Amino acid sequence: MGSSATGGPGPPVTPSAPVTAALAWIEEHLCTDFTVADVAAAVGLSDVRLQARFRRELGSPIGEYRSRARIYRAKALLRETSAPVTGIAHALGFSTSQYFATVFRRYVGVAPSEYRDGCGPTYRGLDGPAPPGAASRAAMPAP
Digit-coded pLDDT (tens) for 23-77: 999 999 999 989 999 999 999 999 999 999 999 999 999 999 999 999 999 999 9
Q: Tell me: pLDDT of 111 over 50.
A: yes
Q: pLDDT averaged over the chain?
A: 83
How does residue 130 score in pLDDT terms, banded at 50, 70 and 90? Answer: low
3-state secondary structure of 37: helix
- Altogether, the residues listed in the chain come to a count of 143
How does residue 4 score in pLDDT terms, banded at 50, 70 and 90? Answer: very low
This prediction has a pTM of 0.74
